[in-house]
């Protein structure tokens, strides 16, 4: 074996395993999952993204090298998650629709709306296992579906709904990125783990 053919000693503890779950509420300091907080069963896992967008302020400056670090400007973050849901609850359909209401008189009736409300956006959690028994979590803040509801059925299979959510900053917290992460080993979970910004 070559000198540079090896893995870190803590590789096993760093690995994320299994698909994880989507939750309406979660507290990393007290990592207990309640059935009523589980959003839906999923298939194919969950794709999470938190991507920065930069502009080069020196791109039109004579004799300035492209991508000069000191002139790079962080413009925004694209934060979101996508999954395929097998759930057909009123709550998961409403989440996929985005601008919609569940009828208060008939909770089986989901009604899309013409106008968006700020309350349509919700914090959504993804929580997954680490190979060593620890926890990896992501909170998408002010998550809102902008792709809508799409149900795909098959002759002998399960109906599947695409859920695509984007996180959004708020007026009161414009300088906050709409996604946060936690990575906790088993011994540190009771103490809340380590927040990774």
Q: What is the DSSP string of 72-92?
A: EEEEEEEEEEEEEE----HHH
For residue 109, what pLDDT band results from cuts at 50, 70 and 90? very high
Size of the chain in residues: 197
Task: For residue 110, give the nearest of 96, 100, 122, 99 by alpha carbon.
Answer: 100
Per-domain residue ranges of the chain: 16-54+69-196
Q: What does the pLDDT read at residue 188?
A: 53
The predicted pLDDT at position 191 comes to 45
- pLDDT tens for each residue of 48-103: 999 999 999 999 999 999 999 999 999 999 999 999 999 999 999 999 999 999 99
pLDDT of residue 10: 87
Q: Is the dihedral of CA 110, 115, 119, 123 positive or negative?
A: positive
For residue 4, give Cα distances in angstroms to 8, 9, 11, 12, 14: 11, 14, 15, 19, 20
pLDDT of residue 195: 45
């Amino acid at each position: 074996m070559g000198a540079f053919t090896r893995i870190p000693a803590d590789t096993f503890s760093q690995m994320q395993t299994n698909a994880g779950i989507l939750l309406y509420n979660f507290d990393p300091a007290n990592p207990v999952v309640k059935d009523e907080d589980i959003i839906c069963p999923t298939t194919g896992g969950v794709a999470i993204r938190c991507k920065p967008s930069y502009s080069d302020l020196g791109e039109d400056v004579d004799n300035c090298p492209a991508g000069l670090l000191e002139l790079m400007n962080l413009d925004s973050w694209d934060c979101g998650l996508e999954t395929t849901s097998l759930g057909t609850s009123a709550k998961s359909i409403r989440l996929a629709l985005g601008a919609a209401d569940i009828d208060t008189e008939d909770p089986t009736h989901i009604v899309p709306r013409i106008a968006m409300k700020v309350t349509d956006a919700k914090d959504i959690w993804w929580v997954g296992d680490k190979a060593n028994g620890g926890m990896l979590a992501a909170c998408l803040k002010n998550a809102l579906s902008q792709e809508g509801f799409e149900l795909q059925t098959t002759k002998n299979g399960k109906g599947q709904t695409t859920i695509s959510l984007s996180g959004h900053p708020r007026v009161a917290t414009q300088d906050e990125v709409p996604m946060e992460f936690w990575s906790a080993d088993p011994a540190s979970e009771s103490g809340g783990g380590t927040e990774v910004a």
